[in-house]
Chain A
């Protein structure tokens, strides 16, 4: 499939790692080509081999990893035949890398300028001052404000989004032919992600540079790429033009990947989820690697070797799939589980949890003197001041019995703190919390302890939520004993029942947590929460650490057990699509306050509050036909140490109306006749409904820091 005129041609690339358990083939005979000026996505779940593929191309694989066979032809040159010294003149010069995590990829003790300039001086024959000018230009190109002065600052003085821009500036400084972007937006918030994707799209149009986009996010692929390769268990299972693949995938895995994503504007349909997870790379099955999970697998799929990538009959040119049934299957329609429809839920109006004016302030810094800080007053004299982070600053909402209420917002908005404060895991600074009529904020430690049985929590990182020193049975059984629910054989039986209910086996009871995959661990955590028969479960980003196909399984499970066990959920997430999919009502949080609260339809369809609107618009649609019309927010979230006066969102709001936003804090106001939908904004509903005319609208330009 290699064409001589392509910029990059990877042929039968195989990269292996030596581990204690034997050799792991992380990239298994992968072949693809990338044309000049093309953007190609490599998409897959964690462990699929996409990052290793990227690093192999740059020859950054180090012991115990090794490129075993294959060839990588770049611009007519065989990269694997180059000496290390020759390869160094390619790296950072002709091929550059944009790494995943902007918080760790910059050296903390060198200035941003030093890190850009060293690359320029390495590859271009220029002096110090000239290199500095090129660096400033590169920073300008990636829209870092005031580059001439910011060039001498250290990485920690930049926000995450700005650091990602610095990484892109380093990647661009030597005018490369190919940029490999390894999950460039994964570590960023959705509104920042929108801006970085916009920047990459702009740069590509202006410069015609080729980009290899490594991502797990099909939305990012749909919005940025021309072509895409789907990876599974070290193999490329399908490649083709993005539009063709979304229109009609040829490999069943691609189909399930698309179906597993809850669409941001979808109805509350049930997700199509496959069972199981990606096989262990050390124990790949015979035949097709995907056969065990594939709904279309036949006998022939389970024997012989893994199928190779081949053109599909009747498919548009360039579409290839590694499936022996690719020619006969029609996968153009989303798969639906027969006989299962998302039930229509009846919610009660009787509140289970009532939160009024909840506040939680942390002292900034730790230790005895940690929150003391020297400050110069206006008069110029030095004073000591104590500083507080207002993580939650006056939050009110209710959860009715049998209802799911979502808390959505970007990182640092205080949503997790709300969850912990509501559960009294953190002591609130102020406000009231009533659970089932009990005023939690007034109760003593002992009384709260006895109420704990009614409220359980599921955490983001399933691995961290299970004590590695205890067996599954000990973990789940402890709660039953503690609250006198069951002991002895009865306890064991109930644990086994619970394990089966959450999709595990009764025999798993004596295993240790590390013997399970991430998705299975989350199932154990859910069983653990159910064990004490609670009324309310707080779900703190329960699917954020999981791959998309596993995420769908867990969401379906949470949905299934809700009525069965009579549960109410407080569901915390940064992922609007997930919240929209699962929740009845939703609260949008910004900087410790609730911007908008109401039913999912009221809040999102259509969005009113300017923040909700921009948040919603920033989510990349997993559908290339539906281009996102992104509202790009100015600047970043202000520090909760020093929140803005008036409306907390006024520094970034594209619809800011004037001084009133800066001086008066908007209070929640009911919209229309229903008191169930409340918005905190000075704008009228009509004003909110108008489209954003142009970005930077009103107010002074606030720079990101």
Chain B
């Protein structure tokens, strides 16, 4: 009961945040300079034809009505029609989103497998050369923007060493081997850039847990250091780390915007850039909302998992 109660509360919060998110997305995109009708019709359009099109698109209505229309559409899954492509925004996104998800999920897997062992080792060997090396590695990962890691990987693994394609996307349903081949470089580039955050969070929350009373008590029971670290401390330390992983996943979606440009990866990131370049407001709104939704969903999942791992939330009890 406490668990469901908790999840419902989180959902209620999410609904409020989502409302604010739509406001921000709508507000921002509607200050975009440029007359949409003019953009569609070209410079030779007459004033009458512009007015007619504006009426058709509902652009002559007050802003708040446009907003309500837009939100009502969103709820029904209708994000409008792309000005650039002339097709429904939802269709455009539906094709590209899975490709970006593939990239972001692969990158998260890469970073989690690298960062958690590194973080645990650094915490256990706190203030030793091992810790310093692990921390320095993390700093190197942090030191370049994601797109630059992409360039570095292209230069080293594709241009210098060879063996990897520099760009492009292949669907895993058409050619799984080639798909993985194309995925490795962008996913690792992003994975390396994300590793640092998760590693540092793992390290610091592990250090916190290792100084807790229950850890000392576990030692006093005669448990080996390995059992103390893995059985007792790690599960507790995982709780804040999960939140960071969820946040990093959404951060990866930001990285996707630039990284897809570097690797010519036809996902939602490039779609967003196309929308900005073309002043394609419905498309831009759609992309922004979908990416924000993914952030909120991954956060919600993290909260749910968090609650599941922590019995204090699962079974209720102390506030």
Contact = CB atoms under 8 A, between A and B. Distances in A.
Direct A–B contact in the complex, CB atoms closer than 8 angstroms: yes
Interface string A362-374: 0011111110111
A530 B12 CA distance: 49
B311 A123 contact: no
Contacts of A96: 220-221
A99 B222 contact: no
A439 interface: no
Given A101-B213, A104-B213, A91 B219 contact: yes
Nearest to B224: A88
Interface string A74-102: 00000000000000111111001101110
Contacts of A685: none
Contacts of A100: 213
A119 B231 CA distance: 13
A372 B1 CA distance: 13
Contact of A107 (B9, B222, B232): B232
A105 B214 CA distance: 4
B175 interface: no
Contact of A99 (B216, B236, B319): B216
Contacts of A58: 220
Contacts of B4: 374
A110 interface: yes
A123 B223 CA distance: 10
A91 B214 contact: no
Contacts of A368: 12-13
A156 B312 contact: yes
Contacts of B5: 372-374
Contacts of A88: 222-224
A525 interface: no
Interface residues on A, range: 35 or more
A91 B222 contact: yes
Contacts of A1: none
Interface string B187-223: 0000000000000000000000000111011111111
A297 B38 CA distance: 98
B221 A119 contact: yes
A109 B221 contact: no
A96 B221 CA distance: 7
Given A108-B312, A109-B310, A92 B213 contact: no
B221 A122 contact: yes
Nearest to A58: B220
A125 to B, nearest CB: 14
Given A110-B232, A157-B317, A369-B12, A104 B214 contact: yes
B230 interface: no
A91 B4 CA distance: 42
A310 B13 CA distance: 69
Nearest to A108: B312
21 contacts: A88-B222, A92-B221, A92-B222, A92-B223, A93-B222, A97-B217, A99-B217, A99-B220, A107-B214, A108-B312, A110-B231, A118-B221, A122-B223, A123-B222, A156-B311, A156-B315, A157-B315, A157-B317, A167-B217, A375-B1, A376-B1
Interface of A: 58, 60, 88-93, 96-97, 99-101, 104-110, 118-119, 122-123, 154, 156-157, 167, 170, 364-370, 372-376
Top 3 closest A-B pairs, CB basis?
A92-B221, A92-B222, A91-B222
Given A369-B13, A374-B4, 9 more contacts: A92-B220, A100-B213, A106-B217, A107-B232, A110-B232, A122-B221, A154-B315, A156-B317, A369-B12
